[in-house]
Structure 1
Amino acid sequence: MTNNRPRQGSGMRSRNSAKSPTRQGVAARELQEARRKRRQREVMRNRIILGVVCICIFALLITLIVKLLGGLIGSGNTADTSTITFQKNGQVVFEEVIDFDSDTYSKSELKSYTNDLISSFNETYGEEAIKLNKLSVKGDEAYIKTTYKDADCYTAFTSYETFDASYEDAVSAGYDFGELFSTVADNVVGEAQVVDTDSLFAGMQVAIIKENVTVVVPGTITYISNANVDLVEADTVTISQADGNEDASDLVYVIYTLE
C-alpha cells in the first residue's frame, strides 16, 4: 500500500509548474504591445485632428485677410464720373464728381457748405438720414461721397426722381412700365421690344432713375428700358443724353435680380 502512494513532486506537476511563468510573461508582453499600439493610434488620431483644426484656422485667417484687404482697397477707390449705387440694405451711395474753381471758393468752404446742407436736411428729415463719407479736391475737380438712408431720402435731398424696390412695389407706387425694354444676358443688350412686364418682372427688383449718371445695382441686370442707356457691366449702366444736353433727362428703368 505504501509503495502505491503517488510521490509528491511528480513529473507531471513539475512540468505544469514550469510553464506557468512563461505563459504569464507572454501575456504581459502581448498586453504591453496592445497598449502601445492603442497609444500610437490615439496619438495619430490626435495629430490628424490637430492638423485639420490648424488647416481650418489657417483657411479662415486667409479668408479674413483677403476680405480685409479687399475692403481697404475698395474703400480707397473713387468713381471717375458721378455714380449712384443702390445697396442691398436699401441705402443709396452717391459719388459726385463736379468742377471745382479755387477762385470761387476753397476746399474748406466747400466742405463747410456741404456739411451745413446735410445738417440742415437731417434736422428736418431725420437724424443720420444723410452722411458725408468723403470730400476731396484734385486739380479742377471735386469728389463728394455721401450715403443716404434710402431712395426716398435721396429724392428728397436732390430732387431727382429715384426708386429702388421690388417690381410689385413699383407698380403700387404708380409706375406703369409703358416702355420698350431690352433683355440683358451675358453683357449683351437685346433689341428693344414691348414685353409682358407682369409675368417677366414678377419678383424682380427695379431701380428707377431720372438723372444723367452711372448706376450700379446690387445684382445682375436682366432688362433695361430703351432710353439713352448703355450697359457697362452686368450690374452697371450709364445714362446720358445722345445730344449731350445735361439739363435733359429720361426716366430709366433697370430691372435686376439680387445676388
Structure 2
Amino acid sequence: MTQRRPAGGKGGMRSRNATSPTRQGVAAKELQAARRKKRQREVMRNRIIFGVICAALLALLVTLVVKFGGALIASGGAADKSTITFTQDGQVVFEEVTDFDTQTYSKAEFKKYTQNLIKDFNESYGSKSISLKRITFRKGQVYVKTTYKDAECYAAFSSYSTYNGSYEGAVTAGYDFNETFSIVDGTSKATGQTMDADSTFAGSKVAIVKENVNVVVPGKITYVSDTSTEVLDDHTVGISQADGNNDATDLVYIVYTAK
C-alpha cells in the first residue's frame, strides 16, 4: 500500500531547527566598512613607504655609479696621443704613447730599463722626483705614464724646454714671448697677431712646451702661439708640425687663467 501524506503537506517535512537568516544591523555594517577602509589605508601607506624606499635606493645607486664610475674612468683612462698635463699643485703628468718594437726590447727588458732610468735620475735629482705610474703594451705601441714633481724636473729629465707658472716668472726665466699669438675663445682660435706681452699677459699663468704633444693646463686658455697649434678644448692644446715632421719642434706659449 502506498502511504498517504497528511493533508496540507505540500513540500514534505520541515526541520524543526531551521531558522531565518540573521539580519545584519546598521552598526555591524558600519564596523565592516570602517575595517575595510582601514585595511585600504594600510595597504596604501605600505605602498607609499615601499615606493619611497625604492626611490631612495635608486638615487643612491645612481650617485654611487656616477661617483665611482667617474673616478674609475678618470684613474684608468689612457691618452691616445702623448700628453703633458700641468696640475694645479705644480706637478707634471706625462703620458707617452710611442711605437714599440719587440725586436729592440722585450716587454720585460723595456720595463726594467724604464725603472732603472727613473731610479738613476731620482738618485741624482732627488728622491721621488719622478714616479712611474703605469706601463701598458697595446697593438704595437707602449703607453708610459709618469709624474714629475714640477716643470723644472720634467725639463731636466726630458731635455725639452718646459715651463709652467706666472708670466712674470717666465720673463725672469728668459722667455721673450716674441711670437704671434691667437686669442682663444672656447675651441675657437682667432687669426694670429703680435701682442704687447707685458700689458696683455701680466698676471696670467703660462705653460711653455717644445714638443709635439697635447698639453692640458689647469685653467681656461686665453691666448696661444699661432704656429703649430690647435685648440682642442678650453684647457687643451694640440701641438704638431704642419708638414708632419715629428723631428721638428716649435716653442709654444699657452696663456691661461688659473681655476
In structure 2, the partner of 1:70 is 70
**Deviations, residues 98-125 of structure 1 (Å, cap 9, x unaligned):** 1111222211111100000000000000
Count of residue pairs the alignment pairs up: 203
Q: Which of 194-203 and 73-82 deviates more?
A: 194-203
Aligned in 2, Cα 1:168/1:62: closer, same or farther, shift over 3 Å? farther
Residue 196 (structure 2) pairs with residue 196 (structure 1): yes
SS at match of 2:174: coil
In structure 1, the partner of 2:220 is 220
In structure 2, the partner of 1:35 is none
Deviation at 1:223, TM superposition (A): 0.2
**Deviations, residues 117-176 of structure 1 (Å, cap 9, x unaligned):** 000000000000000000010121100000001000001001011000011111111111
* Separation in structure 1 between the aligned mates of residue 80 and residue 211 of structure 2, nearest angstrom: 17
SS at match of 1:78: coil
Deviation at 1:66, TM superposition (A): 3.6
TM-score, with structure 2 as normaliser: 0.74
Deviation at 1:67, TM superposition (A): 3.6
| Counterpart residue type for residue 77 of structure 1 | G
| Counterpart residue type for residue 248 of structure 2 | A
1:1-259 superposed matches below 5 A: 66-259=66-259
* Separation in structure 2 between the aligned mates of residue 207 and residue 63 of structure 1, nearest angstrom: 36
Deviation at 1:73, TM superposition (A): 1.2
Aligned in 2, Cα 1:180/1:73: closer, same or farther, shift over 3 Å? same
* Separation in structure 1 between the aligned mates of residue 168 and residue 251 of structure 2, nearest angstrom: 18
SS at match of 2:179: coil
Higher relative helix content: 1
* Separation in structure 2 between the aligned mates of residue 119 and residue 64 of structure 1, nearest angstrom: 38
Identity across the alignment (%):
57
Q: Which runs of 5+ in 2 are unaligned?
A: 1-55
Q: Which of 70-79 and 160-169 deviates more?
A: 70-79
